Amino acid sequence: MDARRIPRPVRAFGWDPARGGTGRAPAPAVASRRDRAVDADAPGRPSTARLVLGQVGWATRAAARDPGWVFFAVALPVGLYAFIMAVLPDGAAADGVPPELSSAAGMAAWGAAVTAFVNMPEAVVRARDRGVLKRLRGTPLGPVGFMAGHTVSTLGIALVTAALVMAVGLVFFGVVLSGPGVLLAAAVVVLGTATLAACGFALAAVLPGSKAVSAVGLAILLPLAFFSDVFLLGDTQAWMQKAGSVFPLKHFANSVAAALDPSGPRILWGGLAVMTAWLVAAAIVATRAFRWDPRAEGATARR
């Protein structure tokens, strides 16, 4: 092609970088693909609260997909409540609370205990055994956010279980509920579930693995339920009442029943104090003794 026919701007364009001292403005810097990705993600990085809420949803969905969790923590309390009410003779439970209400409160406490003291700690320890908590240290969520999400999910599952039990009592067994009583009972369920979750974390801190947490947790919880007004099997002996009053489960069940008392909501301050004391003590033990790394890996490193 004849050079005279090439337009002047094309002939003047330089393909090589300009040398210093030409007075021309430097070409704008072009970010690499990786830099552009980082810059794009930085303004939209989710907050810690949003990450924890996402973990709450994930933990709740995982629990809903676990048949054992759904059966023992949700379906079994509802079924046991219906069975107990079918075989329980007419009469009044302790403190003048109707048996249908006292039994419903006991089953609400039982469902929360299975979720918070057995299932949730087992899931967290299983994640620790698989190295999930260790890997989370390098993420924005972190292991503390992981455990917080599971704890909040546990509170939600416990409230749902309590609501289902109370709904069965309301529809089939004549349980009478009031708005203030329901709100007070929900607050008691939150406190009781948080207490049992802290106890579950403390148990997980001293046991070697998830299977041990599940086995020991059930071995503690099942006998304790018979000392704690959870299963209404007639008059409980005095020594059993005294033994049960040391632990939070009895106060959990009785405080829910008192909150829903048809004659008017009542607050059992002594029971709330016992649950709070267990919550603080168990949280201290769990905070100081819980390990983030799998036990086998930690033992190998010490060698």
User: What residue spans define the domains of the chain?
Assistant: 46-294
Per DSSP, helices labelled H in 95-228 are 99-113, 120-129, 132-135, 142-172, 179-206, 210-226
Q: Supply the pLDDT for residue 60.
A: 92
Q: Supply the pLDDT for residue 35.
A: 42
**179: burial class by Cβ within 10 Å (0-12, 13-18, 19+)?**
exposed
Instruction: Report the chain (303 residues): mean pLDDT per 10 consecutive residues.
Output: 54 55 46 39 69 90 92 94 83 70 95 96 89 82 84 96 96 92 97 96 89 92 91 76 93 96 94 97 91 62 39
**Start-to-end CA span in the chain (Å):** 79
Contact of 56 with 149, CB cutoff 8 Å? yes
Single-letter amino acid code for the residue at 72: F
Q: Supply the pLDDT for residue 97.
A: 81
Q: Supply the pLDDT for residue 179.
A: 93
CA-closest candidate to residue 84, choices 93, 95, 72? 93
Contact of 242 with 274, CB cutoff 8 Å? no
Contact of 78 with 168, CB cutoff 8 Å? yes
Q: Supply the pLDDT for residue 298.
A: 42
Q: Supply the pLDDT for residue 2.
A: 55
Q: Which residue has the tokens 């939209």?
A: 44
Q: Supply the pLDDT for residue 19.
A: 55
How far apart are alpha carbons 295 and 146 in whole angstroms? Answer: 19
How many helices (H) does the chain have, and how many strands (E)?
15, 0
For residues 4-26, one letter each, b for 16 or more C-beta atoms within 10 angstroms of the residue's C-beta and e for the rest, the string is: eeeeeeeeeeeeeeeeeeeeeee
